Amino acid sequence: MAKTTYYVPIGPIHPALKEPIRVEAEVEGEKIVKVDVKRGFAHRGIEYMGMKRNAIQTLYLSERICGICSISHPYAFVIGSEKALGIEAPHRAQYIRPIIAELERIHSHILWLGVIAHEIGFDSLLFWTWKGREKVLDVLELITGNRINYSMYMIGGVRRDLKESHIKALRDMITYYWEFTEHMKEVFLSDPVYKARTRGVAQVPKDMALKLNLVGPTARAAGLRMDIRQDIPFDAYADIDVKAVVPQDIVGEARGDAYDVTMVRIYEIEQSLDIIEYCIDNLPEGRILAIPNYIALLNKIKKTEGEGIGAYEAPRGEVIHYFRYDGTRDGPSVWKVVAPSYNNINSWGYCLLGAEVADIPVVVAYIDPCMCCNDRVAVVKDSTGKMLDYSYIHKRAIEKTRMLEKELGVRR
Amino acid sequence: MTPETIFYAVGMPLIGVFLGLVYKGIDRRVSARMTSRIGPPIRQPFWDVGKLLLKETVVPANAVKWIFNAMPVLALASSMTLLLYIPFGIIKAPLEGYGDLVVILYLLTLQALAMAIGGFASGSPFSSVGAQREMVLMMSYEMPFAIVITGFALIYKSFSLSTIASTPVWTIVGPLGGLGVFLLLIAFLWVTPAELAKLPFDIAEAETEIAEGMLAEYSGRNLALFYLSDAVRGFAMIAIEVVLFIPFTLSYLFGLNLSGPVLYIAEGLWFLFKVLLFYISAVTLVRTSFARFRIEQASRLFWVYVNIIALLGLLLIWVEVM
């Protein structure tokens, strides 16, 4: 009897996906024999919007690229901008920035741990981790005023200073999370069912991870020692000797599966706690902004001609922002964002081929995908393969509206 | 048609649906409390059913329409029939003379089968994958279940549930047989979540993997019927376990000398309390503390480990009975 295959369409809307992307899988029983990943459902044209605004407005816009990395994009933005403008943030700001960034890494990693637990049907663990995550969100709210989208960074410094009460809250939080990560290691890394569901799933060997251009915890889990904070140190990270967390340092070998990613993320939370502790212990006194007057800053941008690249290790991997200021207006004339999910989604095709249907959510979630981060260009083609441009789509839209109006008998 | 028959035909489904939904509500509430949430009110399943009954029933274009619509009815009917075989404490089962544990085994299977066939008939790829999984899972857990029933038949020399309910099993077996029955209980506890399609064995309905699987295309009245049959089956399955493993009555345990309606009410409430305890420990606790297995992991678990436990229990019982 010939084997029959099913066609299982996953997405653009699917319970395993929180954002739109399409995975077309051909399934033979439970095994996936053919897979195709299609992206481009969440294009928002955010770079185009950024190039029409001034640099400070664009900074806040960059925060809206991703809902969870809401400090990673502004961080890469300010680093890139400062390089292009040739200004340096004051010492105190250089120590406050990593604190906020590492707080965000903690909340992002705990969020991911809850998500992966949900994907394998372990909802109690999801509730438990997200309850633990509240503590870091509370601290972020105390320091910046917001739980998400903190509006904390400014070109040449930070907007808010750290007070004594903030430092006390940070120290409390650090004690809390040292205990919490111990529990998490127990629950995630020693649980036999979790192990059974993630060991060997989404496995990417080291050479394949290099070929697929993986970044962030996904690459580190495969054994690649790469971390922007270690390779291109900036701000306070240059004073702290940040080492990439790789599984071979923890358990002696790196297999690069979902279990190793979990391990890397839990140990990175501990690393973040160390970094925060170092920063608040060695917090220098002084100003927090290089150019406190925003009008002066915008004037300086208007006169500057230059380009810069800002790179930052976001919780998911490296974020890179490229800028060019051409000295004619007070915003970037070119702004290009590269988000980590764009590289990491490459691993899906490799991991899904030969996997089971039950592994799809784990494979999808293990890179912590962020669709709105990586949809940069939308190319629309008609059935003959001809590329459709803006004016054509606009014309078609008007025709469709007229047709609908006629059909419904509505006239304007 | 005697008035008694009419009472059973009308009364039992109503009682079954009511109890099933109440237990479902308690289960949701307890589970929520265990995961530091507040949870819905206990009457929430009633609202759910009410709302589903008001919604439109959509039949997919490429579904086999009559099978698609018939399966929810079949599922509910089979779980309702199941109720008629279960003695509530000292209240006798209405159909006690007309069947035995083997019929119960088949009726429990029928419900899962109805869902699988409904899934296949709906023509959706998610439902097909879900139905395939359900069939595989059914093949895995029916064997330990059958072994448990065989063990009881060995002890009592009868398949009749009312005979089993009349004397607690623990009083008529020796130490070796007692260990055997205990092993059967462990095997049965593993089978329970699989039979009721609860975590860790809700593989056929896995929300994050195949979008509720067999139920993906069901809506409105059809989904309400499946929801009801699921609730009734949950109650019935646990009630069977209570009858098999902890049939101790109040008068047996405490030597109470009650009579008349007081006796029936007290024993009935005691039975419901036992079911509640078993429900929380066998379903709620398990489903809050496990992740979902993959289908081949679940199959291996049943075929190797649970089967070995059950067979060992059967062997111990056989040694004692011989």
Contact B266, B257 (CB under 8 A): no
- Mutate: best of A5, A7, A8, A116, partner B, most B CBs <10 A: A8
User: Which residue's structure tokens are 């009312």?
Assistant: B162
Residues 6 or more apart whose CB falls under 8 angstroms from that of A342 comprise A373, A374, A376
Q: What DSSP line would sit under A1-45, residue for residue?
A: -PPP-EEEEE-SS-TT-SS--EEEEEEETTEEEEEEEE--S----
Q: Measured between alpha carbons, how far is residue B257 from residues A224, B89, B243, B252 in Å?
A: 75, 16, 22, 10
Q: Measured between alpha carbons, how far is residue A398 from residues A391, A392, A408 in Å?
A: 11, 10, 15
Q: How many CA atoms lie within 13 A of B318 on its CB side?
A: 10
Selection from A46, A52, A78 nearest residue A329 by Cα: A52
What is the C-alpha separation between B288 and B29, in angstroms, rounded? Answer: 12
User: Which residue's structure tokens are 């070998």?
Assistant: A253
Nearest CA in chain A to B132: A29
Give me the helices (H) in A120-205, please: 123-144, 164-184, 192-198
Q: Measured between alpha carbons, how far is residue A157 from residues A70, A95, A294 in Å?
A: 17, 10, 12
Please state, rounded to an integer, the average pLDDT across all residues of chain B.
Answer: 83
- Mutate: best of B294, B295, B296, B304, partner A, most A CBs <10 A: B294
Q: Which residues of A touch B290 (CB under 8 A)?
A: 121-122, 193
Q: Does B208 touch chain A (CB under 8 A)?
A: yes
Nearest CA in chain B to A356: B294
Contact A121 B291 (CB under 8 A): yes
What is the C-alpha separation between A130 and A133, in angstroms, rounded? Answer: 5
Contact A365, B208 (CB under 8 A): no
User: What is the tens place of the pLDDT at every residue in B63-76?
Assistant: 888 888 888 889 88
Adjacent-strand bridge partners of A314: A317
Both tokens assigned to A137: 């969100």
User: In the predicted model, is pLDDT for residue B159 greater than 60?
Assistant: yes
Contact B297 A196 (CB under 8 A): yes
Contact A197 B294 (CB under 8 A): yes
Q: Which residues of A touch B205 (CB under 8 A)?
A: none
Contact A361 B126 (CB under 8 A): no
Interface predicted TM-score (ipTM) over 0.95: no
What is the C-alpha separation between A244 and A117, in angstroms, rounded? Answer: 25
Contact A193 B291 (CB under 8 A): yes
Q: Which residue in the set A16, A191, A194 is minimally distant from B209, CB to CB?
A: A16
Q: Which residue in the set B129, B199, B292 is minimally distant from A357, CB to CB?
A: B129
Strand order in the sheet with A31-38: A6-10, A22-28, A31-38
Given this model, what pLDDT does residue A412 score?
Answer: 58
Contact A121 B292 (CB under 8 A): yes
Contact A30 B295 (CB under 8 A): yes
Given this model, what pLDDT does residue A273 score?
Answer: 92
Q: What DSSP line would sit under B129-142, residue for residue?
A: HHHHHHHHHHHHHH
Handedness of CA B295, B296, B299, B305 (dihedral sign): negative
Q: How many CB atoms lie within 10 A of CB B313?
A: 25
Q: How many CB atoms lie within 10 A of CB A191?
A: 18
Adjacent-strand bridge partners of A390: none
Nearest CA in chain A to B123: A6
Given this model, what pLDDT does residue A371 score?
Answer: 79
Contact A344, A317 (CB under 8 A): yes
Given this model, what pLDDT does residue B244 score?
Answer: 83
Q: What are phi and psi of B259, to 5 degrees?
A: -150, 165
Given this model, what pLDDT does residue B136 score?
Answer: 87
Series of mean pLDDT values for 10-residue runs along chain A (412 residues): 68 74 80 82 80 88 84 90 88 90 91 88 87 90 87 88 90 92 88 84 87 88 88 86 87 86 91 91 89 88 88 89 86 86 86 83 84 70 78 86 84 62
Given this model, what pLDDT does residue A83 score?
Answer: 86
Q: Does B128 touch chain A (CB under 8 A)?
A: yes
Minimum distance, in Å, between the CA of residue B19 and any CA atom of chain A = 26
Three-state SS for A69?
coil
- Mutate: best of B135, B205, B209, B297, partner A, most A CBs <10 A: B209
Given this model, what pLDDT does residue A178 score?
Answer: 92
Given this model, what pLDDT does residue A2 score?
Answer: 53
Nearest CA in chain A to B128: A6
Contact B290 A122 (CB under 8 A): yes
Adjacent-strand bridge partners of A157: A154, A289
Given this model, what pLDDT does residue A377 score?
Answer: 64
What is the rounded radius of gyration, in angstroms, for the C-alpha atoms of chain A?
Answer: 23
**Peptide linkage before B200 cis (omega within 30 of 0):** yes
Both tokens assigned to B186: 């462990």
User: What is the tens place of the pLDDT at every residue in B188-229?
Assistant: 888 888 888 887 888 777 777 777 777 888 888 888 988 888
Given this model, what pLDDT does residue A408 score?
Answer: 82
Q: What DSSP line would sit under A284-306, residue for residue?
A: --S-SBSS--HHHHHHHHHH-EE
- Mutate: best of B208, B286, B289, B297, partner A, most A CBs <10 A: B208
Nearest CA in chain B to A5: B125
- Pairwise pLDDT comparison (B86 vs B22), residue with the higher score: B22
Q: Does A127 touch chain B (CB under 8 A)?
A: yes
Q: Which residues of B touch A123 (CB under 8 A)?
A: 35, 288
Given this model, what pLDDT does residue A1 score?
Answer: 45
Contact B206 A121 (CB under 8 A): yes
User: What is the tens place of the pLDDT at every residue in B30-61?
Assistant: 989 888 888 899 889 999 999 988 988 888 88
Q: Measured between alpha carbons, how far is residue A226 from residues A222, A255, B301 in Å?
A: 11, 16, 40
What is the C-alpha separation between B190 and B290, in angstroms, rounded? Answer: 12
